[in-house]
Structures are given as C-alpha cells and as structure tokens.
Amino acid sequence: MADGRCLAFRLGVPESTIYHLPSTIHHLPSAAPPLLLGSHLDTVIDAGKYDGALGVLIAIAALEITGPLDFPVHVLGFSDEEGVRFHATYLGSRACVGRLDDGMLAIRDANGVSLGEALERDGWQDGATELFYDECSSRGYVEVHIEQGRVLEEAGEAVCGVSAICGQSRLVITLTGQVDHAGTTPMDLRRDALAGAAEYVLAAERLARSEADLVATVGKLDVKPGASNAIPGEVRFTLDFRHPDDECRESLLDQLKAEFASIAKERQLELAVDLVQSNAAVPCDPALTESLLDAAEAPTGHRRLLASGAGHDAVMMATAMPVAMLFVRCRAGLSHHPDEHASPEDIRVALEVLVDFLHQYSSSAFASATSAPSRFVPPSP
C-alpha cells in the first residue's frame, strides 16, 4: 500500500477500511476508461443520513434505470472523507488516486493505532482486487451531494450545478496590547486587544458581505487574562477565509490584512498573522458541468451554479481527472446534524438529472474519449 493504491470490492463483499466499489456496471474491454460516480459513505458523529451516502445510492439507482450504456461506469463509495477517526480528510478518495503516501499511513487515531496498522489488520479482505485511477484511466468523476447550505431553499430550487470547490485560507491572528485595571485606566489610555479584535471581526464580515462568493468566519477567540476586571492584553483568534477563485481570495486577504495592520497601528497594538493552512480552489470541469446543467434545465427550468464552500471527495479525484458535482436542496440547510433531510421529491429531480446526463454523455463526444481531458494540479507545499 506504500504506493497509495487501494482495494476494490464488489457489492455484497465486506467493506474495506479505505473504500469500496459497490458495483461495476456494463463491462467493456479494459481499454475503455470508465466514468466514475459516487461519494462517501462515512459521516460525522451524530449526523444525518444524506451527506455522502445519497451520492452513492443515487448513482446505483440511475444505472438501474439507464441499463447498459456504451461506456463503463464505476460507482464508488469512499470511507473516511470526514476524517473522524484519523483527523485527515479524503482517505478513501486519496487512496483511489495514489495519494495515500507513507506520511498519511503513519498518522494515528486516538488509541495510537496508525492508519497503516489499521489497514494491515482490517483493510485487506480475501477476494479484493487492486484499483487505481490516474490521468489516463478514467473519463471523469461526477458526484451528487446535498448542498449543506440554504441557497437552494431560499431560491425555491431542487438542484444546481457546482462551479468550483472553494479555496481556503486559515489564519491564526494574535493581537497584543496592555493588561490594565478595568476601573482605573481611562478609555483614551487603553491598549485593549479585545476591542481591536472586535474591529477585526467586523472588518472581515464587512469585506465578505461586499464581495460575491467570499465567506469569512472568526470561529474561535482566546482572550487573556480573561478576568472581568482586567483589560484584555492579548487576543488570539482564527480566521477562515474561502473563495472559489484563488487569485481573488489572495488579493482580498491581502486587502484585509492591510486593514488589520491599520487598526493595530491606530490602537497601538502588536499584530502577528500566521497562515496555518492554505488549500487551492478546485474548479469543476466546464464540459461536464455544462452537460449537468443541460440535464437540470429540463425538469427545473434553471441553470444555477453555486460554489461549494465545503470540501468533497471531488477535491482529491480532481488531481487525476475532470470532476463535476450536482447539489441537492436540503431542508433548512442542515447538515452534520440528525435532522439533515433531502425530500423524496428533490431526490427524484436529482435522479432524473443524473439519468439524463448519463444518456447525453453516452451519445456525446465524451463517450469516445480515452483519457481525461483536464485535471486539477494542486500547488506544491
């Protein structure tokens, strides 16, 4: 497994720790690359039943309706997309495209068991076959997934296409002022780190509200000394910054950091900004996406595109092939929650779209392709 490959299983065979292949529909000569459909089968603790699993089941249902096509289709059900056990995401899809390297195999769960050890003990089953996709061995990957947001519900629409999976910058920002007595220090002599942080939070919100597709979140603040009668001398907080266009995200982040520096100077605070994570945006393939929108327009009358603020297995699959996604409306936008729900009516629309997409794909020039036309190449660390 050091080369990052994984094992595939037919429907009815016990599942792999990493991922399993519920079914291969309509065998063609091995030279014909397959179109891949699917999503993940795991979820977070105390979550709902639609996140991920819907994409696997709807793919199987669509192929039951279409019957044999003139190209092979693989339906994939990945495990550990969420990273619950090993706190590393996309493990199933990562293995599928050869990116489960020695460093990933060395990560450990809460009990000290490494991923490699878990795979040696539980991951390999008799009768399994090795499966690996690269740039030349597939036509592309299409994933149906609940939106995990409220845009479609607000718009009154059942489904939409996905333009891209947002790039993300995650920062830790530290503001240092002066701890002083809350009762004896006049307001004009204060170097209040928390008041400065409050300005930062509002500046991030203001910028995100003014820029389409940008979302910015301050999710955690650590205030010191944390006493009710002391002026805060240090605040450490996180900033999550997402946009579907990397160049735009980086430009807007530079703009925000310049405003942060101005606030710090005005308030006589020391500012430290640490970038702790940066993930590139993953654009969805234009041709596959247009075909999905063509299929969606007939039952819905719309060709809406949304950027995905959440990560999906399509992120990892895009390193080896073109990808596309279809979002399905979910009630109140709830996800990672026991009340997560997609209505049977909306699922029926999504199924109709996927079936029509497969028929269109079968009759289009796509079906004659023998290799992936484009792929996402992540930046070097």
When pLDDT is cut at 50, 70 and 90, the band that residue 20 belongs to is very low
Find all residues with CB under 8 Å of 123, minimum gap 6, and list them: 1, 7, 16, 17, 18
3-state secondary structure of 180: strand
The CATH class given to the 6-165+282-368 domain equals alpha beta
The CATH class given to the 167-279 domain equals alpha beta
pTM: 0.84
Closest CA to 159 of 361, 287, 298: 298
- pLDDT tens-digit readout, 51-83: 999 999 999 999 999 998 988 999 999 988 898
- pLDDT tens-digit readout, 328-351: 999 999 999 999 999 999 999 999
- In this predicted structure, what is the pLDDT of residue 125? 62
- pLDDT tens-digit readout, 299-319: 999 999 999 999 999 999 999
When pLDDT is cut at 50, 70 and 90, the band that residue 364 belongs to is confident
Find all residues with CB under 8 Å of 60, minimum gap 6, and list them: 22, 23, 75
Provide the residue ranges of all domains of the chain, joining segments of one domain with +: 6-165+282-368, 167-279
- In this predicted structure, what is the pLDDT of residue 121? 83
- In this predicted structure, what is the pLDDT of residue 266? 98
**216, pLDDT greater than 90:** yes
State the average pLDDT for the chain. Answer: 88
Long-range contacts of 365-370 (CB under 8 A, 24+ apart): 366/139, 366/140, 366/287, 366/288, 366/291, 367/70, 367/71, 369/33, 369/139, 370/31, 370/32, 370/33, 370/136
Distances (CA, A) of 231 to 100, 123, 191, 221: 48, 54, 8, 15
